[in-house]
Structure 1
Amino acid sequence: MAELDHDNNITKAGRWLAFLPSVVAATSLFALMVMTFFDVILRSVFNDPVESATEMTRLFMAIMVFSALPVISWRGEHIVVDLLDPLFSARVGRIRDAIVNLVCGIVLAWPALRVWQLAGRAREYGDVTEYLNIPQFYIAYFIAVATFATALVLFARGLCFIFAPQWVETPASLSDSTAAGPK
């Protein structure tokens, strides 16, 4: 019974950790939606579009995608081609999933490091966005941190497949648990 409570606590902790990035992604999506709505109205009715709409779209999209990436990675909600899944037993499938997650976690650390370096360079050069003059290194550092978090999540997920498969959430186990935030 104590082990079951421990497993539930791990799952609950994971859901709480996923809540903030999910809120950031949802807020970014909402802001993008509102900005697009006003851009279309201003463009259609007054022939005066939002000048920085393209720039804001890029920023909101980057925030949305990279905020959601660690959460999607932990939950295993990536788009997958599962043509060969029926050929694997559950045990072999779990080993395959562990290897894929571990390798992806290790490999993803390189782009995170590279983006971090590029963010430092953008900071040194004083690069800013075209219309809003927002320093570009802010978003680049955000992307680097989110990518590194995704690498850690994938590596941890791979280890969980090996040592504690009950801790790994799958899309099927999440269907009723994510509607209203962490529980």
Structure 2
Amino acid sequence: MTGLSEKTKSPFDRIIDAIEWMAALFVGIVAANIFIAVVLRKFFDTSIPDSYDFGRMLLGILIFWGIAATSYRGSHITVDLLWTGASPRMRRFIDVFATLVLLFVVTVQTIMLFDKVAVTMRDNVLTYDLNLPTWPFFAVAWMGDVCAVLLIGIRTWRLIMQPEALEDHPETKTNE
């Protein structure tokens, strides 16, 4: 928690918080799906129709929304061998360069994922048991990727224009 009240948060911070809450919501949905499926199978000898399809599609959604949540905070896995030995100015340059590369890669990924959503919708791909269309799941995953692009863009802008805005977040600090 940054210690900022809702009234003093910038619109960017509110967007970031909302996207992180969505990612957390999908973690809960995936966990609930797994838990309920296991309990039903173990104790009641039954299962949720399409629980496997729902599980794999929800996991995909979780991954893309997780990318959004971790990309802004910079809390994804990194290798900082070169960065730790660099001067503060060079560290900032490395951060901006790495974030721009990440922005490019995730933008291309988002474009390609949109194509997957369109193809899945056009081909009318359905789940096995209930014959539900799968494209809405792909669309929600794609929205997570769009949010990742948005957050990486905000991070890039802040790295260049407002580096102190990133330093205000305790999530970006590491204990050494």
Report sequence identity in percent: 21
Give 1:141's aligned residue: 139
Evaluate the alpha carbon distance shift between residue 161 and residue 25 of structure 1 in structure 2; reply closer, same or farther with a 3 A threshold: closer
TM-score by length of 2: 0.79
Matched residue SS, 1:168: helix
- Once the two structures are superposed, the pairs formed by residues 119-134 of structure 1 within 5 Å of their partners are 119-134=117-132
Shift of 1:94: 0.8
Which of 98, 101, 108 is 2:99 aligned to? 101
- 2:171 is matched with which residue? 174
- Measure, in 2, the Cα distance between the counterparts of 1:35 and 1:142: 17
1:54-133 superposed matches below 5 A? 54-133=52-131
Instruction: Please point out which of 134, 155, 164 is paired with 2:162.
Output: 164
SS at match of 1:24: helix
* Distance in 2 (alpha carbons) for counterparts of 1:143 and 1:169: 29
User: CA offsets, 1:28-83, max 9 Å, x none?
Assistant: 22222222222222222233233422212112222222223223211111111223
* Runs of at least 5 residues in structure 1 that lack an aligned partner in the other structure: 1-7, 176-183
Per the alignment, residue 32 of structure 2 pairs with 34
Does structure 1 retain, via aligned residues, the 8 Å contact 2:83–2:94?
no
CA shift, 1:126, in A, is 1.2
SS in 1 for 2:81: coil
Count of aligned residue pairs for this structure pair: 166
| Displacement over 3 Å in runs of 4+ | none
Q: Could you tell me how far 1:95 is from its partner in structure 2? A: 0.6
Q: Aligned equivalents of 2:94 and 2:22: distance in 1?
A: 32
Q: Secondary structure at the match of 2:130?
A: coil
* TM-score w.r.t. length of structure 1: 0.77
- Is this contact kept in 1: 2:57–2:138, CA < 8 A? no
**Alignment check: 8 A CA contact 2:121 2:135 kept:** yes
Deviation at 1:97, TM superposition (A): 0.6
Give the aligned residue type for 2:122.
Answer: E
Give the AA of the match of 2:13: R
